[in-house]
């Protein structure tokens, strides 16, 4: 028994993809239409720099098929600040500023912290308390992406689990990567694609990610990823299915659509 596994990339407008992902001479204004029918999710990165207007969100929704899901990076002015507890107004402005237009296409919101932001329990707890938990009657899902090693601690895990906030597994050589599950869903941003491999990742690596995704979706936890705490033993019969979101981000970006499609194919098999 497992839940939905969503696989995709970051954004859909990238010039090199017009050589190896989009069909020749495919109109740029229809790139989302095409990408959303090859992949099952896309993480919108442009919202990190500036929120979009409600009609733009509505248009994006209209260009995608049923079952497709967007994740969004929250604006940096919500998280790139010394005191997260002061972000309430900015958070509300983003969440209630048009995200309802996505309807059932709205997936998790990724709140990415800057590399200088160290773990401060009281400040982070206040930030979590300000995250809206519903929008127009639909539950909201929040995931935190940390980029400072001070978050590699049991105290952070306890706080995130108590607040039911997921934590990004950032498979990055630059930022902390830990696979301890803290929320009701799993969110991974994979940053190791290689330009000299057509599919971005070696076949064995994609096979491994398919197994990890299936373990997460089945309510289990992979045993071959770095962690802060040892993985707890889960009774398979009692495991609760989770939604899983996996995005191929950054690194050899031109290869990421191929990596995502290759992983989707493996999961389909």
pLDDT band at 1 (very low <50, low <70, confident <90, very high): very low
Write out pLDDT tens, residues 22-61.
999 999 999 999 999 999 999 999 999 999 999 999 999 9
Tell me the CATH architecture of domain 5-268: Alpha-Beta Barrel (3.20)
Q: How far is residue 149's CA from residue 198's CA, in Å, rounded to a whole number?
A: 33
pLDDT band at 237 (very low <50, low <70, confident <90, very high): low
DSSP 8-state secondary structure symbol assigned to residue 42? E
Domain boundaries, the chain: 5-268
Q: Name the token pair of 66.
A: 């049923």
Neighbours of 47 (CB within 10 A): 22
Q: Give the mean pLDDT of the chain.
A: 95
Q: How far is residue 92's CA from residue 78's CA, in Å, rounded to a whole number?
A: 10
Distance (Å) of CA 1 to CA 7, 90, 191, 220, 223? 19, 39, 29, 11, 19
Scanning the structure block, which residue is given the tokens 């309430």?
88
pLDDT for residue 95: 98
pLDDT for residue 173: 84
Q: Name the token pair of 54.
A: 């409600």
Q: State the DSSP string of 140-171.
A: P-EEEE--SGGG-SHHHHHHHHHHT-EEEEEE
Write out pLDDT tens, residues 147-185.
999 999 999 999 999 999 999 999 988 899 999 999 999
């Amino acid at each position: 028994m497992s839940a939905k596994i969503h696989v995709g990339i970051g954004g859909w407008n990238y010039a090199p993809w017009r050589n190896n992902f989009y069909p020749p001479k495919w109109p740029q204004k229809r790139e989302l239409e095409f990408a959303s029918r090859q992949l099952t999710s896309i993480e919108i990165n442009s919202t990190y720099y500036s929120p979009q207007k409600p009609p733009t969100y509505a248009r994006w929704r209209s260009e995608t098929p049923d079952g497709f899901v967007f994740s969004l990076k929250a604006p940096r002015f919500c998280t790139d600040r010394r005191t997260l507890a002061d972000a309430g107004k900015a958070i509300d402005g983003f969440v209630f500023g048009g995200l309802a237009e996505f309807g059932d296409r709205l997936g998790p919101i990724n709140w990415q912290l800057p590399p200088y932001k160290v773990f401060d329990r009281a400040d982070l707890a206040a930030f979590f308390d300000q995250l809206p938990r519903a929008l127009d009657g639909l539950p909201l899902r929040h995931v935190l992406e940390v980029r400072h090693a001070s978050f590699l601690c049991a105290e952070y895990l306890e706080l995130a689990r108590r607040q039911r906030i997921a934590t990004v597994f950032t498979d990055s050589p630059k930022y902390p990567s830990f696979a301890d599950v803290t929320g009701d869903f799993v969110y991974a941003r994979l940053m190791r694609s290689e330009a000299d491999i057509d599919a971005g990742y070696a076949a064995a690596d994609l096979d491994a990610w398919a197994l990890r995704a299936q373990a997460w979706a089945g309510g289990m936890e992979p045993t071959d990823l770095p962690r802060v705490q040892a993985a707890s033993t889960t009774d398979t019969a009692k495991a609760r299915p989770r939604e899983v979101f996996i995005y191929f981000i950054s690194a050899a970006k031109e290869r990421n659509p191929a990596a995502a499609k290759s992983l989707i194919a493996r999961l389909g098999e």
